[in-house]
Amino acid sequence: MDFSVLWPNTPYMLDGLKVTIVLALVSLAGSLVGGTFLALLRLSPWWWLRWPAILYIDLLRMVPLIMVIFWFFFLLPILTGGPVGATTAALAALIAFNSSYMAEVIRAGIQSVSRGLVEAGRCSGLTYRQCMWNVVLPIAIKNILPSLVNRLIALVMGTSLVYIIGVTEFFRAANNINNRIFRPYEIYISVAVVYFLLCYSLSLFGRFLERRLAYAKTS
């Protein structure tokens, strides 16, 4: 094994890594927004808001991410009537998919806020919406930070799957190099190491948040 053959290719790999990180950050932001709205709909007192949200969340969680990516890849051109870039399709799929998981995490967070607080907020004259945005959500988000970090790890690993529709993110970049210099051992091991460092440091951060949260609860 000779890892030095990879040196000339590092700029190309780094470009791919940048795409992976951008994909992860954009779909994180998108799925946080989407997930929050889905969670609020899911907890809505009105059934005609609640049921579609339940259907969406549960359906998306039963389908493999690859299928969702394919599906958006084929759906978007039909909807817009013209060609749609692979990156757009990939982002749409990642956001749609991860929103459903985020929604469940956020819902758990909202339900972890004690009823007393909500009732106190409502009693002091806040509307349902004000109470949600200003009282419940800030506490809920603090409670679910560790689970959000875990979702972020899954999300980062998920970005490697957009490889199949031709987005040149980190994994595809590595494959392109492998097709040229054919050094599968060196390439896949270094790819694995990079992903591992990324995900493992995130998971250590998640554990740190979890400890701090446990500490805050006991003190």
Partner 1 sequence: MNYQFNWGIVLEYRSLLVDGLLVTLQLAALSFLASILLGLTTAIGRSFMPTYVSTAFTVYVEVFRNIPPIVQFFFWSFAVGLNVFPASLVALSVFTSTYIGEIIRSGIASIPKTQAEAARSSGMPEFYVIFYVILPQAVIRVIPPLSVEFITLIKNSSIAMTIGLTELTFQTQEIEARSFRGFEAATTVTIMYVLLALVVVLVMHLFEHLVRLDIRKG
Binding residues (CB under 8 A) for partner 1: these are: 59, 62-68, 70-71, 73-75, 78-79, 81, 153, 156-158, 160-161, 163-164, 171, 175, 178, 184-185, 187-189, 191-192, 195-196, 199-200, 203
Q: Least distance (Å) from partner 1 to the CB of residue 216?
A: 23
Rounded distance between C-alpha atoms, residue 72 and residue 92, angstroms = 7
Q: Least distance (Å) from partner 1 to the CB of residue 68?
A: 8
Rounded distance between C-alpha atoms, residue 75 and residue 64, angstroms = 16
Query: CB of 148 within 8 A of CB of 31?
Result: no
Rounded distance between C-alpha atoms, residue 110 and residue 159, angstroms = 28
Q: Least distance (Å) from partner 1 to the CB of residue 154?
A: 10
For residues 18 and 207, which CB has a smaller minimum distance to partner 1 in the complex? Answer: 207
For residues 17 and 131, which CB has a smaller minimum distance to partner 1 in the complex? Answer: 17
| Strand residue runs (E) in 18-88 | none
Q: Least distance (Å) from partner 1 to the CB of residue 114?
A: 26
For residues 3 and 128, which CB has a smaller minimum distance to partner 1 in the complex? Answer: 3
For residues 20 and 36, which CB has a smaller minimum distance to partner 1 in the complex? Answer: 20
Q: Least distance (Å) from partner 1 to the CB of residue 93?
A: 11
Question: The tokens of 174 are what?
Answer: 């590595």
Rounded distance between C-alpha atoms, residue 44 and residue 119, angstroms = 16
Which residues have C-beta within 8 Å of that of residue 66, sequence separation ≥ 6? Answer: 161, 164
Query: CB of 91 within 8 A of CB of 30?
Result: yes
For residues 75 and 118, which CB has a smaller minimum distance to partner 1 in the complex? Answer: 75
